[in-house]
Structure 1
């Protein structure tokens, strides 16, 4: 027996009744962790923050985010980041540049190899954080310093989010066909699904014949 839930996303996981996905790395928590979802509207567009999801791990978070944030709107890709892996700067006011407000000291010389970080900017309160670019650094502080040098003149920037690229679950090139079946993103409208063509064809091929 599969687990039935009031949440159709849980039902579609086909979990054995009485079982739930294990909490990833933190079994002591009594509720799912939060993950942040970033949505790419079209090829070449920057990923934009669309909202959080609660999930037991990042793979299930990706599934939930796909169901919640890509069904009604055009989408060609998703990024998922565990909330705790995002470093956040203080917020400025609209029209201000938070990079100018922050006193970012030069990070001490480090022996670690630089790694990629993703930078997200909030241009105005009430809007959404949008991916500004990727930089190389050896720490979050170093990433903020490098981001200021590369992107600091693109203000106003009200707030900055920073995440290590390795902590971002990104939809791959081979995943793109998961959205092609619903190009118009018409919510719960079967005619928008390519599978409807197969259903129609099946009906035509299996139409009962009139007895002679």
Structure 2
């Protein structure tokens, strides 16, 4: 006996009526999620733009490029698997999460240290933004290093920590991906110089006797 629904998509799946007790769900039968960060202008921090679903990191990078940088200004792209990010609890706006967490004192860098990227959320409803890189022996130590380096920045309502080695990053050579060909400048709003045309129209109407 099959599960019936008003949704025809459920009916097409032919799900047993006693699901989920009828069978054990297979492992890894769905794509993982990856988080995407973009750099909208040169020499500005990377900011979080959203997730993608993909079978691996390389394909996630391709999906992220197509989804988040085709129609928006972009100078760089970072992609990391969701499970490789650890985060703090959220606090209220105008507070610092660093002050509310029991973060141990940062240990000195050792041979086992690796680079971690720190992303900070300054206000709810905004996007996590890359604050900087720390060298640490693990996530907790990275958080301690982040408090030492960025703890004075208020407000900070949430922090994401990710190993730099787990992030797939575009390189300097990849920046030409986002260049607009001369024959396709019409795709960029700035090419229309709308404000110049408006000002010229205003000048004509103002000077008309």
Instruction: Report the TM-score, using the length of structure 1 for normalisation.
Output: 0.71
1:192 paired to 2:187:
yes
Q: 1:93 to 1:28 in 2, by over 3 A?
A: same
Distance apart, 1:182 and its partner CA: 6.2
Query: Mapping of 1:56-205 within 5 angstroms?
Result: 56-106=55-105, 112-181=111-180, 191-192=186-187
Unaligned runs of 5+ in 1: 1-26, 184-188, 194-212
Question: Secondary structure of the residue that 2:117 maps to in structure 1?
Answer: strand
CA contact (8 A) 1:87 1:140 kept: yes
Question: Secondary structure of the residue that 2:58 maps to in structure 1?
Answer: helix
Return the alpha-carbon distance in structure 1 between the equivalents of residues 125 and 154 of structure 2. Answer: 16
CA contact (8 A) 1:76 1:179 kept: yes
Distance apart, 1:192 and its partner CA: 2.8
Q: Number of residue pairs matched?
A: 162
Return the alpha-carbon distance in structure 2 between the equivalents of residues 156 and 60 of structure 1. Answer: 35
1:80-132 deviation line (CA, Å, top 9, x unaligned)? 00000001001001111000000112367896521111000000001000000
1:53 paired to 2:13:
no
1:139-193 deviation line (CA, Å, top 9, x unaligned)? 111100010000000111000000000001000111111111369xxxxx88439
Return the alpha-carbon distance in structure 1 between the equivalents of residues 137 and 159 of structure 2. Answer: 18
1:31 paired to 2:26:
no
Return the alpha-carbon distance in structure 2 between the equivalents of residues 182 and 69 of structure 1. Answer: 19
Return the alpha-carbon distance in structure 2 between the equivalents of residues 60 and 77 of structure 1. Answer: 17
CA contact (8 A) 2:35 2:81 kept: yes
Question: Secondary structure of the residue that 2:145 maps to in structure 1?
Answer: helix
Question: Secondary structure of the residue that 1:176 maps to in structure 2?
Answer: helix
Return the alpha-carbon distance in structure 2 between the equivalents of residues 174 and 146 of structure 1. Answer: 31
Question: Secondary structure of the residue that 1:125 maps to in structure 2?
Answer: coil
Unaligned runs of 5+ in 2: 1-25, 189-209
Return the alpha-carbon distance in structure 1 between the equivalents of residues 27 and 181 of structure 2. Answer: 39
Which protein shows a greater Rg?
A: 2
Return the alpha-carbon distance in structure 2 between the equivalents of residues 104 and 182 of structure 1. Answer: 50
CA contact (8 A) 1:91 1:158 kept: yes
RMSD: 2.2
